[in-house]
Amino acid sequence: MKLSNRIYLIALIALSSVGFAVGQTYKNVEITPRALAGGSADQLALYTSQFLRNNTPSANSVSNEIFIRQVGNNNQFTSEIRSARSNVSAFQQGNNNEAYVSLESVIVDEFILQRGNNNVFYDIGSDLKLFHNGQIIQSGSNQRLLFLGNNSLSDRIKVNMRGNNQTVIVRNVKRQ
């Protein structure tokens, strides 16, 4: 196993074993979103469509913005982004979803949608890039998507995962 592969493996294990205390955390409190309390899927679909329409980043934005909407229990979103301009939108609908974004890029534009339970998304960049644009949609339960590193192929990546119990690992490593 090459040294760079070992480093990525160690980093992945270290990051997945450390709990990040961000997002919403409640202890011994049962919280039911209003849209789900009545069992109305139409209300939840309306809420989702409003989120998607209202949080589309404008092309002329010159700031660093992160929009997070969480519906459910124990959802976590962590970001470590160094950029001149960033627009990140994250919507987590369900329980125990986790998203972690660690990037260094001049411009970052990322959209994350997690619908279901126990979904995990990690986007860990390794080098400074000029542009990073990602669209990630996870619909289902127990889905794991890991992006490790970055290159020109992953600059404008779109992933749509549907179903249950899936794992996708994308390694963007430059060969020496």
Mean of all residue pLDDT scores within the chain: 78
DSSP designation for 154: G
Q: How does residue 60 score in pLDDT terms, banded at 50, 70 and 90?
A: low
Which residues lie closer than 8 Å to 85 by C-beta, 6 or more apart? 61, 62, 63, 64, 106, 107, 108
Most confident of the ranges 5-14, 45-54, 118-127:
118-127
How do residues 73-103 score in pLDDT, each as one tens digit? Answer: 999 999 999 989 999 999 999 999 999 999 8
Q: How far apart, in whole angstroms, are the C-alpha atoms of residue 43 and residue 95?
A: 18
SS3 8: helix
Least confident among 46-60, 88-102, 108-122 = 46-60
DSSP H or E segment with residue 42: helix 41-54
Cβ of 145: how many Cβ atoms within 10 Å? 22
**Angstrom distance (rounded) from CA 1 to CA 19:** 28
How many structural domains comprise the chain? 1
**Which of 150, 95, 99 is closest to 121 using CA atoms?**
99
Its domain, for residue 63, covers 3-172
Contact 25, 48 (CB under 8 A): no
| Contacting residues for 33 by C-beta, under 8 A, at least 6 apart | 44, 71, 72
Whether the pLDDT of residue 35 is over 50: the answer is: no
Question: Do 47 and 101 meet the contact criterion of CB atoms below 8 Å apart?
Answer: no
- Interval 120-151: pLDDT, tens: 999 988 888 888 899 999 999 999 999 888 88
Lowest mean pLDDT among 87-91, 107-111, 145-149, 171-175: 171-175
- Report the pLDDT averaged over residues 58-74: 80
**pLDDT at residue 22, rounded to an integer:** 47
> What confidence score (pLDDT) does residue 153 get?
75
Task: Quote the Cα angle for 40-46-50, to 5°.
Answer: 150
